[in-house]
Structure 1
Amino acid sequence: MSDRFFVVTGGPGAGKTSLITELARRGFHTIPESGRAIIREETASGGDALPWADRMAFAERMLEWDLRAYSAAQALSGPVIFDRGIPDIMGYLTLCGLPVPPHVAAAARANRYNARAFLAPYWNEIFTQDTERKQTRSEAEATYAVMRETYIALGCEIKELPRADIATRSEFVCVQLGI
């Protein structure tokens, strides 16, 4: 377990990436979300490891990406903030009604983050869709609930982010980190 690795999770369109961007601006090491990068790669190459084509292949790609990111983050000093973590893959598969393969669950148990997980709640006022985020509002709410349950099941303490501007959310994270 790496006590200095922190995850920001939650449903789509809840402001996670905006928070991560602000934390990076404040000097934190941050790791971007794998899902969007994989969607861009698969779309550019004509691949089908996409959440609207082959969900299991998409999950496997996310696992590969997230394991590389976790390993690379070992070389960074100080706190590292991840835009989603390996447990999110378990949550994604659960949300899709797909079984969580044993190797995915094992990866989530073996590559641990800090026991405090930051959860961005569903926030109707800021939720938007785009070419990579096609989930509906109800899917975004369901994702939030599944991520909460997934991280709790892995023994994490949930720190729900306030529904507030980015500066306030960033201050909340800094206070939680003791910085």
Structure 2
Amino acid sequence: MNPKKIVIAGGPGTGKTTIINALKKHNFLCYDEISRQITLQAREDGIEQLFLTEPLLFSEKLLEGRTKQFVDATKELEPVVFLDRGLPDVIAYMDYIGDHYPEHFVKACEDHQYDAIFILAPWQDIFTSDSERYESFEEAIEIHKHLLDSYKRFGYQLIDVPFGSVKTRIEFILESLNLQ
């Protein structure tokens, strides 16, 4: 079986993980964001913010992890797999910081195409920072612009998720996918 691979994308603090967790409660198969795991592992290795100190290394780890998630999702028996972020996010963040990346980053995005991308815009009312999320709300707005550019670069038609309660946002996503 080759399930539909659905990405929940957006900048920091837009509610992606909250939506993923709610979808899990509705018994949907969801893959978690991996950047926090990479950040926490780097901290255990003595690097406080790997993305800030070695952005290419951090991004390589993300690219590898998200590629694995894509391949694993392809093998699932469920009809739909939701992913907290996709491969084009890696390029968006590299573009955001103005850093260069190898051509295999682009190739990975071209070779691994998702079925739908739901994008969450920055939302001041729910935005918070924490020890793994160092960006300000203003930076989240800039990152959002790069996310839009990155996904459009690879031919995706983005589906804007409206602001609202978690329930309202989940209903919108499920209705858009005819999963209600």
TM-score, length-normalised on structure 1?
A: 0.94
Partner of 2:54: 54
Paired amino acid for 2:89: D
Partner of 1:79: 80
Stretches of 4+ aligned residues off by more than 3 angstroms? none
Paired amino acid for 1:41: Q
Q: How many residues are matched?
A: 177
User: Could you list the runs of 5+ residues in structure 2 that have no partner in the other structure?
Assistant: none
User: Could you list the runs of 5+ residues in structure 1 that have no partner in the other structure?
Assistant: none
1:172 Cα offset (Å): 0.6
1:46 Cα offset (Å): 2.1
1:145 Cα offset (Å): 1.0
- How many Å separate the matches in 2 of 1:108 and 1:169? 26
TM-score, length-normalised on structure 2?
A: 0.94
Q: CA RMSD in A?
A: 1.4
Rate the CA distance shift 1:49–1:67 in 2: closer, same or farther, 3 A: farther
Residues 122-157 of structure 1, C-alpha deviation per residue, up to 9 Å, x if partnerless? 001111000000001111001111101111111111
Answer whether contact 1:49 1:61 (CA < 8 A) is retained: no
- How many Å separate the matches in 2 of 1:18 and 1:56? 28
- Give the stretch that moved more between structures: 88-97 or 65-74: 65-74
Matches within 5 A, 1:127-166: 127-166=127-166
Matches within 5 A, 1:112-123: 112-114=113-115, 116-123=116-123
SS of the residue 2:53 aligns to: coil
Rate the CA distance shift 1:86–1:104 in 2: closer, same or farther, 3 A: same
